[in-house]
């Protein structure tokens, strides 16, 4: 008996293979099973998908693909919407960070659409994430900026935004107007979004804990990075030590285009934070070691949500919070012309 997840898993996995290439572990596994005429277990393909998408997205897909949500009921609908929103949030954050970086190098006239969307960044919603992504993509095109994440042609990115808008409409009707979303329609829409965004599986999400300078006599200086790879199935993030001739940013979550070259990355701080790089040996009540994403500014408190649970926490008491505060201030000045007003 087929699971309602099967058509999502099979389609998304095939899309991933096109981006990862024939030498990837995923492709070698797939073709070895095919060549041996061994039936593919979609649970194994699902594990690849969960692992290859960045952790904040992968954890939502893991929940969706679990045996607990096979029935097409309200719980499954809610999880489809959560997965869609997390996709919008992650890609909006990536686009926002790139626009921030580009604006530090050259002056970029910000469109009225972008200015309107960023005004709501103190309490972003699914619709705001989608609006920010749309406005950033349009700005990249108008200013001839090559997007860090290759979303394809203008036609493809237009379809992506339309699909996100459609899911936002479904969510609003489901949450605010009592019109229960059709689960199969939601599955189909999420599948299309995942296929279009499967390009992200070429990238690696990594947390850089610290960087040590190694400069022995008669040898070229190397920068030893302590890295946690944030592509996993169960938050058992792999920690490695890797030496580079160049250095990246420490105490930060990076989206890396080329894992062999630390110069090609987006630093997602302060929007995505690995608290294990900030807490060190200290503890703060209510804050765990884990991956958090910025949620809202509430009563002058910077509230973050833990990606692996529903818990939220204000980060103002976090050790080294001044580094995050400084980054937020710079983001505001660069992209908003001033601070986000505190809201009650």
226, 241, 267 — which closes off a domain? 267
Six-digit token string for 42? 């979609």
Whether residues 245 and 126 share a domain: the answer is no
Rounded Cα distance between 106 and 5, Å, is 45
Cis peptide before 270 (omega within 30 of 0): yes
CB 167 within 8 A of CB 87: no
Whether residues 143 and 290 share a domain: the answer is no
Whether residues 61 and 136 share a domain: the answer is yes
Instruction: Please indicate, yes or no, if residue 1 is contained in any of the structural domains.
Output: no
Rounded Cα distance between 186 and 127, Å, is 16
Whether residues 17 and 138 share a domain: the answer is yes
CB 186 within 8 A of CB 3: no
Instruction: Please indicate, yes or no, if residue 92 is contained in any of the structural domains.
Output: yes
Whether residues 245 and 276 share a domain: the answer is no
Instruction: Please indicate, yes or no, if residue 29 is contained in any of the structural domains.
Output: yes
267, 294, 316 — which closes off a domain? 267
Whether residues 290 and 263 share a domain: the answer is no
Whether residues 100 and 191 share a domain: the answer is yes
SS3 content of the chain, % helix, strand, coil (to 5): 50, 15, 35
Whether residues 78 and 226 share a domain: the answer is no
SS3 track for 218-260: CCCCEEEEEEEECCCCCCCCEEEEEEECCCCCCCEEEEECCCC
* DSSP conformation class of 287: B
Whether residues 49 and 193 share a domain: the answer is yes
Whether residues 135 and 235 share a domain: the answer is no
Whether residues 221 and 119 share a domain: the answer is no
What is the number of structural domains in the chain? 3
Instruction: Please indicate, yes or no, if residue 330 is contained in any of the structural domains.
Output: yes
- Indicate the burial class of 311 (C-beta count within 10 angstroms; 0-12, 13-18, 19 or more): middle
The per-type count for the chain, helices as H runs and strands as E runs, is 11, 9
Per-residue confidence of the chain (344 residues) as pLDDT tens digits? Answer: 678 999 999 999 999 999 999 999 999 999 999 999 998 899 999 999 999 999 999 999 999 999 889 899 999 999 999 999 999 999 999 999 999 999 988 889 999 999 999 989 889 999 999 999 999 999 999 999 999 998 877 778 889 999 999 999 999 987 776 677 899 999 999 999 999 999 999 999 988 776 566 666 556 666 666 677 787 766 667 666 666 556 556 678 989 887 666 678 899 999 999 888 777 656 788 888 889 999 999 888 999 999 988 889 999 988 888 888 999 999 988 998 765 444 43
Domain that holds residue 222: 203-267
Whether residues 129 and 232 share a domain: the answer is no
């Amino acid at each position: 008996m087929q699971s309602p997840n099967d058509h999502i898993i099979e389609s998304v996995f095939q899309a991933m293979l096109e981006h990862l290439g024939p030498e990837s572990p995923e492709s070698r596994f797939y073709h070895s099973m095919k060549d041996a005429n061994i039936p593919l277990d979609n649970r194994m393909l699902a594990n690849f998908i969960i692992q290859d998408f960045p952790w904040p997205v992968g954890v939502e897909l893991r929940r969706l693909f679990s045996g607990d949500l096979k029935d097409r009921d309200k719980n499954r609908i809610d999880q489809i919407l959560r997965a869609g929103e997390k996709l919008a949030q992650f890609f909006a954050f990536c686009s926002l960070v790139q626009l921030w970086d580009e604006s530090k190098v050259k002056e970029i006239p910000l469109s009225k659409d972008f200015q309107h969307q960023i005004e709501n960044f103190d309490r972003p919603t699914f619709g705001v994430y989608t609006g920010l992504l749309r406005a950033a993509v349009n700005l990249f095109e108008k200013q001839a900026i090559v997007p860090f994440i290759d979303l394809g042609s203008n036609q493809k990115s237009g379809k992506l935004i339309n699909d996100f808008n459609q899911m936002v409409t479904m969510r609003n009707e489901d949450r605010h107007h009592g019109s229960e979303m059709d689960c199969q329609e939601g599955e189909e829409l999420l599948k299309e979004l995942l296929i279009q965004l499967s390009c992200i599986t070429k990238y690696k999400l990594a947390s850089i804990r610290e960087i040590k300078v190694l400069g022995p006599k008669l040898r070229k200086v190397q920068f030893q990075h302590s890295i946690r790879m944030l592509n996993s199935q169960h938050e058992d993030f792999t920690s490695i030590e890797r030496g580079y001739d160049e250095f990246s940013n420490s105490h930060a979550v990076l989206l890396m285009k080329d894992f062999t070259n630390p110069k090609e990355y987006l630093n997602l701080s302060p929007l995505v934070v690995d608290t294990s790089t900030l807490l060190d040996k200290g503890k703060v009540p209510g804050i765990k070691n884990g991956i958090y994403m910025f949620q809202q500014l509430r009563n002058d408190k910077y509230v973050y949500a833990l990606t692996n649970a529903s818990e939220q926490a204000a980060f103002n008491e976090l050790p080294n919070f001044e580094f995050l505060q400084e980054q937020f201030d710079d983001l505001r000045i660069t992209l908003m012309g001033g601070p986000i007003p505190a809201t009650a």
